[in-house]
Amino acid sequence: MLRQRTIKQAISGSGIGVHSGKQCDIRLLPAPVGTGIVFRRTDIHPMAEVPVNARDVRDTQLCTAMVVDGVRIATVEHLMSALAGLGIDNLYIELNSPEVPIMDGSAAPFIYLLQQAGIREQDGAKRFIRINESIEVREGDKWARLSPYQGYRLDFTIAFNHPVFRHRNDHVRLDFSTRDYIRDISRARTFGFLRDIEFLQSHGLALGGSLDNAVVVDEFRIMNEQGLRFDDEFVRHKLLDAVGDLYMLGAPLLAWYQGYKSGHDLNNKLCLAVLETQGVWEWTGLDPNQQHSLDYGYGKQDFLAYA
* Collapsed DSSP state (helix, strand, coil) of residue 45: coil
* Collapsed DSSP state (helix, strand, coil) of residue 124: strand
Cis check for the bond before 51: say yes or no (omega within 30 of 0): no
265, containing H or E segment:
helix 264-276
218, containing H or E segment:
none
241 among the known binding-site residues? yes
Per the annotation, the verdict on 45 as an active-site residue is no
19 among the known binding-site residues? no
User: Which residues sit opposite 27 in a β-bridge?
Assistant: 12, 94
Query: What does DSSP assign to residue 283?
Result: E
Task: Compute how many other C-beta atoms are within 10 angstroms of the C-beta atom of residue 301.
Answer: 8
Q: Are 207 and 265 in contact (CB under 8 A)?
A: no
* Collapsed DSSP state (helix, strand, coil) of residue 80: helix
78 among the known binding-site residues? yes
CA angle 177, 123, 283 (to 5 degrees): 60
> Of the residues 19, 45, 167, 264, which is catalytic?
264
Q: How far does the chain reach from its first CA to its final CA, in angstroms?
A: 36
In angstroms, rounded to a whole number, what is the distance separating the alpha carbons of residues 66 and 74? 6
Binding site for Zn(2+), by residue number, is: 78, 237, 241
Q: Which residues belong to the active site?
A: 264
Binding site, by residue number, is: 78, 237, 241
